[in-house]
Amino acid sequence: MTLGELAGLYGCELDGDSGAVVDRVATLSGAGPGAVSFLANPHFRSQLQDTRAAAVVLEERHRADCPVASLVSSNPYATYARIAAFLHPPRDFEPGVHATATIAADALVAESACIGPNVVIGSASVVGEGAMLGAGSVIGADVRIGAASRLLARVTLLDGVSVGARCVIHPGVVVGSDGFGFAEDDGEWVKVPQLGGVTIGDDVEIGANTTIDRGTIENTVIEDGAKLDNLVQIAHNVRVGAHTVMAAMSGAAGSTRIGRRCKVGGGVVMINHLEICDDVMFTFRSVVTKSVREPGVYGGSLPAEQAQRWRRSAARFRQLDALAERLRAIEQTGISARADGNGPQGQDNG
């Protein structure tokens, strides 16, 4: 592939030898001849001047600083992503069913699909054209897997789960486990049957060991283009809007509805029955306890500090109500009556 061909395919302006041949991508610092690199995060700008890449995908404003060929793009990261996918296509798989797979007689598996070793597919399930079910995956009954979706390995889709087209599901993912529903009865718990399913749209990606519970009565829903990272928890009846991303270790409790194009940071959790509107961003490790009706950025974590300093702040936090009352007392009564050195500072031990 030449730089000229890449520029044509991906709509870049090329500054450099259009006949130069490239065959891979690399980081700015790790690149050598034949490699395409990119500059998207200003964090790495200092690495541009020393790069030995064949070409760098970058914005117009960095073009003058590039010592090698430039592929100029208004969105270098997305353009880089497309070039990388082109130069490094995923490993091909052979269509067909592995001899060790166990497939129900009434399941429908497309001829172009690839069913790996020890895969189990239950009754009346349907696997679409070009789908890939990696080794050890367990598919229940009445499951639908859309065309060209890939379950890397050891994925579990329980009864009644539906997955759209072109999804990528990483190992250890469980979809369709029972929601956490129990009715208290005299100090014990009666299980509430979890009778709904899970509907996953097209172009969804789900990270390793993420769990998505089935709905209680109606379905849990992950809309088109949503991306969930590793170890994410989606409880029963949740709806994740289209093109929303949820970073690792985040979670949504029962019946919460997250809008479209939201960005949920790592470790963020949302309590149940919330409504989050479209285009909301929650920063790292926030605890979301109220519905959000205005797009924007919301935050809620306190950064770690040197422990001794942290402990002082944390101790004062426990005194906050008393501190506020003391402040109010000064405002109301004037300081003269309290300036005898007695009493109030004793509250610091509270």
| Residues 11-40 contacting a second copy, CB under 8 A | 25-27, 30, 40
**Nearest-approach distance from CB 69 to a second copy, in angstroms:** 19
C-alpha span between 28 and 37 (Å, rounded):
6
| Residues 194-223 contacting a second copy, CB under 8 A | 195, 205, 207-209, 211, 213, 217-218
> In the complex with a second copy, which residue's Cβ is closer, 128 or 225?
225
DSSP symbol at 89:
P
| 236 is annotated as an active-site residue | yes
| Residues 58-87 contacting a second copy, CB under 8 A | 75, 77-78, 80-82, 84-85
> In the complex with a second copy, which residue's Cβ is closer, 64 or 185?
185
C-alpha span between 201 and 167 (Å, rounded):
8
Of the candidate residues 108, 110, 126, 249, the single one contacting a second copy (CB under 8 A): 249
**Nearest-approach distance from CB 57 to a second copy, in angstroms:** 11
Triad 279, 283, 287: Cα angle to 5° = 100
Of the candidate residues 131, 146, 163, 170, the single one contacting a second copy (CB under 8 A): 170
Of the candidate residues 56, 235, 238, 240, the single one contacting a second copy (CB under 8 A): 235
DSSP symbol at 340:
T
**Nearest-approach distance from CB 15 to a second copy, in angstroms:** 21
Is residue 117 a contact partner of residue 102, using CB atoms and an 8 Å limit? no
| Residues 257-286 contacting a second copy, CB under 8 A | 261, 266-269, 271, 273, 282-286
Count the neighbouring beta carbons within 10 Å of the beta carbon of residue 191.
9
Q: Which of 62, 236, 243, 273 is catalytic?
A: 236
> In the complex with a second copy, which residue's Cβ is closer, 17 or 168?
168
Is residue 195 a contact partner of residue 218, using CB atoms and an 8 Å limit? no
Strand partners, 121: 103, 139
Q: Considering the rule CB under 8 A, would residue 317 count as an interface residue with a second copy?
A: yes
- Helix (H) or strand (E) segment spanning residue 233: strand 233-234
Q: Considering the rule CB under 8 A, would residue 46 count as an interface residue with a second copy?
A: no
Is residue 143 a contact partner of residue 161, using CB atoms and an 8 Å limit? yes
User: Could you tell me how many residues of this chain bind a second copy (CB under 8 A)?
Assistant: 140
Sheet holding 245-246, edge to edge: 96-97, 114-115, 132-133, 150-151, 168-169, 205-206, 227-228, 245-246, 263-264, 280-282
Of the candidate residues 253, 257, 259, 262, the single one contacting a second copy (CB under 8 A): 253
> In the complex with a second copy, which residue's Cβ is closer, 21 or 339?
339
> In the complex with a second copy, which residue's Cβ is closer, 67 or 299?
299
Is residue 229 a contact partner of residue 248, using CB atoms and an 8 Å limit? yes
> In the complex with a second copy, which residue's Cβ is closer, 18 or 289?
289
Is residue 3 a contact partner of residue 14, using CB atoms and an 8 Å limit? yes
Residues forming the active site: 236
